[in-house]
A and B are shown apart, each in its own frame.
Chain A
Amino acid sequence: MNYLFEILPSLLEGTKMTLNVFFVTLLISIPLGLILSIPLSTNNKILKPFIEGFVWLMRGTPLLLQLIFVFYGLPLIGIVFERYGAAIFAFSLNYAAYFAEIFRGGFGSIDQGQVEAAEMLQMKKAQILRYITLPQVIKNIVPAMGNEVINLVKDSSLVYVIGLGDLLRAGNIALSRDVSLLPLVGVGIIYLLLIGLLTFGLKRLENGLNYYR
């Protein structure tokens, strides 16, 4: 137990990086996914196939491959990222693809009558999105988004392969230095706590949106 408290500071240091990758990825990928979902929901002849191809690529190949590709592969053709930038770049694009699909499904589930009613009330396109459709979309997609967001916490450990100092790396360093299993137990506990907290928050959000049907 004392040992766990000894290594706690270094684990927390790693947790900071894990949370950093988590939040920055969300901050970029959610708006990006929303933007990408708009042409996906229409019959745009140029943008739609292009974005569909992007989504197919991002969801059809492992995130780990994408991460290695960005950090170790792209420099071979002269595009160099530092570790953190590579992680954010790969994660944001990958998660934007998943979020775009979720948003597209959300928009698809909106009754067209809602848009027509708003149009007849003279609302502008942006107002209809902001006040009518998007709130309904958000309510519909919170469960699916929640799953992805929880996955992201765990996926963030993949940054290990490009040598970013996240929670998993902090645990692994302590493991090989002290030849003890406990650091990994500590790492596991911290992941469980993070995901427990997140699950609780998502449940509250879901309940908060349940004030109407």
Chain B
Amino acid sequence: MLEIKNISKTIKNKKILSNVSLAVENGQTLAIVGPSGAGKTTLLRIIAGLEPLEQGTIVLDGQDVTSKVATQIDGKVAVVFQDFNLFPQYTALENVALSLKLVKGQDKNMANQNAQKILDQLGLEGQINNYPFELSGGQKQRVAIARALALNPEIILFDERTSALDPALSSNVADLINSLKNKQITQIVVTHDMEFAQKVADVTFTLEAIK
């Protein structure tokens, strides 16, 4: 279980989060919904360890991990960024294979095979040799998901794009998130789209903007 307790965050003298608490069971999907500017991305970044925390605790399976940045929790946490942050100089396949090579120490063949497997599962078999600039928004998002899955994370943090994906795409992403449930991956999905949240979430948490 991942527990967030009493988190507050101020950026540049502006209070963004005030005493936020939430919890999600292993293998469950939590949707965080709220209007634009409510602090959803900030909250996700704090959980990922990308944003220093001034107050509150983060507990993972009973262990206090507040002081550890996520990068120190052995790749347990993966992020699908709002803008995907794919590496532009690498193909879809290389984007996924890179961490397998550099972090897992797999040789090139092995890493490419494993990366290809993940991309195939996400319906990207036709795009593996495309560079990010050659991919549509939805394809980029799936490559970002594939890249996040490469290191077998226990938790995926998913920052859904604010600009609405078209309905067909959005329902694709929902299917994808639901398929990850079968893999026992805990997911936190940030979205401003209530309907989308209802499709994917076991639990929904609403974040209100601070006036």
Q: Does the CB pair A212–B85 fall under 8 Å?
A: no
Q: Does the CB pair B88–A212 fall under 8 Å?
A: yes
Kindly state the separation between the CA atoms of A139 and B79 in the bound complex, as whole angstroms: 27
Residue B111 is within 8 A (CB to CB) of chain A in the complex = no
User: What are the residues of chain B within 8 A of A132 when measuring CB–CB?
Assistant: 87
User: What are the residues of chain B within 8 A of A10 when measuring CB–CB?
Assistant: none
Residue A73 is within 8 A (CB to CB) of chain B in the complex = no
Q: Does the CB pair A139–B89 fall under 8 Å?
A: yes
Kindly state the separation between the CA atoms of A161 and B89 in the bound complex, as whole angstroms: 45
Residue A62 is within 8 A (CB to CB) of chain B in the complex = no
Would you list which residues of chain B between 158 and 183 have a CB under 8 Å from chain A?
A: none
Closest Cβ of chain A to B101, distance in Å, is: 9
Q: Does the CB pair B98–A131 fall under 8 Å?
A: yes
Q: What residue in chain A is nearest B50 (Cβ atoms)?
A: A116
Residue B36 is within 8 A (CB to CB) of chain A in the complex = no
Count how many chain B residues have C-beta atoms less than 8 Å from C-beta atoms of the other chain: 27
Q: Which of B71, B75, B133, B147 has the most CB of A within 10 A?
A: B71
Knowing A113-B81, A213-B133, the reply to whether A122 touches B99 (Cβ < 8 A) is yes
Kindly state the separation between the CA atoms of A136 and B87 in the bound complex, as whole angstroms: 9
Q: What residue in chain B is nearest A120 (Cβ atoms)?
A: B79
Q: Does the CB pair A131–B102 fall under 8 Å?
A: yes
Knowing A135-B89, A211-B131, A212-B89, the reply to whether A122 touches B151 (Cβ < 8 A) is yes
Closest Cβ of chain B to A208, distance in Å, is: 12
Would you list which residues of chain A between 13 and 69 have a CB under 8 Å from chain B?
A: none
User: What are the residues of chain B within 8 A of A136 when measuring CB–CB?
Assistant: 88-89
Closest Cβ of chain B to A81, distance in Å, is: 42
**Per-residue contact bits, chain B 70-96, to A (CB 8 Å; 1 contact, 0 not):** 110011011101010111110000000
Knowing A121-B147, A123-B102, A127-B102, the reply to whether A213 touches B88 (Cβ < 8 A) is yes
User: What are the residues of chain A within 8 A of B103 when measuring CB–CB?
Assistant: 121-123
User: What are the residues of chain A within 8 A of B85 when measuring CB–CB?
Assistant: 111, 113-114, 116-117
